[in-house]
Amino acid sequence: MGISPLSMLQTSAPLERLRARHLVLEPTAPSLPFGLAALDALLPDGGLPRGAVVELCAASGLGQSTRLALAACGAAQRQAGDHARLGRHGAWCAWIDVSSALFAPGVVRAGVELERLLVLRPRPEMVTRLAVRLAASQLFSVLVVERVGVPGTGLELPRARWELTTRRLALALEGSECTVVLLSSLARARAEQLPVALRLELTRPEHEQLQVRVSKERHGRLRGPERIALGWEGCAA
């Protein structure tokens, strides 16, 4: 289906193949817009900051964090397509999908090209180590790291470990074009307060509307909560 589950031990080969193809991230705008006008207008810089760690937090059972992460991947790939038409190298996205929740047809409907999406499904205890390794490679425009999943996945790692991982990710991203997106539960994100550059809290008070709040931003530019009709036509849960 175009999505390849890979373990931690299998990661080196795909990364080396990407390097061998001279895959280089070209300098772009300082932020990555989702391509969703209402949401981008809410964000302080009109999109997700590059070279930084951001957190998408959703209430239990709300799939919008996954949808927004897919939207970010699709937007990054479209920008890479524009670069390719100018004779530049394109960029890839990577997704650490511990719960095996990604569904290839739905990913395609969300506007993401499977040919430029590396999906990894490591053991839960390897997630933080793998995330830092992928970020340090600086081969990806967007790296999505799943912190939440189906019950029993073992993703409830200690807060101290995630705090240290977040700081290591930020150091690995310095000077890069990559955006790391952490998918977290809303309750846990509020309790832990990880040192991310941007945190978006997602709830849905009414049908077909998403309530978005910028609860943390590295320059203190907080926004919301605001209700946004995103229009998820063609997007997967």
The CA distance from 1 to 104, in Å, is: 6
Structural domain including 134 reads 1-10+51-187+194-202+215-224
Is residue 46 one of the residues assigned to a domain? no
Q: What is the pLDDT along the chain (237 residues), one digit of tens a residue?
A: 444 443 333 445 556 665 555 454 555 568 999 988 889 999 999 999 999 999 999 987 667 889 999 999 999 998 866 544 434 445 799 999 988 889 899 899 999 999 999 999 998 889 999 999 999 998 999 999 998 755 555 566 778 889 999 999 999 999 999 999 999 989 889 999 999 999 999 987 666 678 999 999 999 999 988 888 766 543 433
Is residue 73 one of the residues assigned to a domain? yes
Is residue 230 one of the residues assigned to a domain? no
Is residue 210 one of the residues assigned to a domain? no
Within 10 angstroms of residue 1's Cβ, the number of other Cβ atoms is: 10
pTM (two decimals): 0.84
| CATH code of 70's domain | 3.40.50.300
Is residue 20 one of the residues assigned to a domain? no
Is the backbone peptide bond immediately before 225 cis, with ω within 30 degrees of 0? Answer: yes
